[in-house]
Amino acid sequence: MLNFWKKVRAKICPCLSKPDETSEQSEDTEAGRSLFLAKQIQAAVIIQKWWRGVLVRRSLLQATLCALVIQRWWRHTFNKAQEERRIRALVMYIWPEKSTVLLQSMFRMWLMKTRYKKYQKAAQVIQNNWRHYSFRRESNVCSLDNLAHDGIDLNIEIVVG
């Protein structure tokens, strides 16, 4: 920054950078005064240009920072919307799959239930027939045992008539 001001002084006002006796003499004359005023005006213009450049750079920096904030917000919003669309698509894919799996499991459950009922009915029929067979066998064994013990078969028919 200090170097900048030295350059400005050297360029615009050589009388300020190198003091000598001629500067005092030139101020006395009218031409010297107008030249001195012109150099001061030129120095003021250069300083104003530099200051305007500083202000422009500041405003551009501020605009750049604002643009970056907006871009960051937009990217965040876009990524969030994209993630929501991805999740929605995934859910739309999963629902039919899930319902298919549910239907298949319900069908398998119904099939197993009917098979179980069928086997249960078959077991009941077998048990019933076995009980009936066992009962008849036991009763035949008992009647033969009674016949064997007594030796007499007492089947008497009474006919009235």
0.85 exceeded by the pTM? no
Helix (H, G, I), strand (E, B) or coil at 18: coil
Q: With both helix axes pointing from N to C terminus, report the angle between 30-150 and 21-28 in degrees, rounded to the nearest 10.
A: 110
Angle at 111 between CA 108 and CA 115, to 5 degrees: 140
φ and ψ at 123, to 5 degrees?
Answer: -65, -40
**In this predicted model, which residue has the larger pLDDT, 74 or 25?**
74
**In this predicted model, which residue has the larger pLDDT, 85 or 138?**
85
- Rounded Cα gap, residues 58 and 62, in angstroms: 6
- Rounded Cα gap, residues 149 and 143, in angstroms: 10
Give 13's pLDDT tier (boundaries 50, 70, 90): low
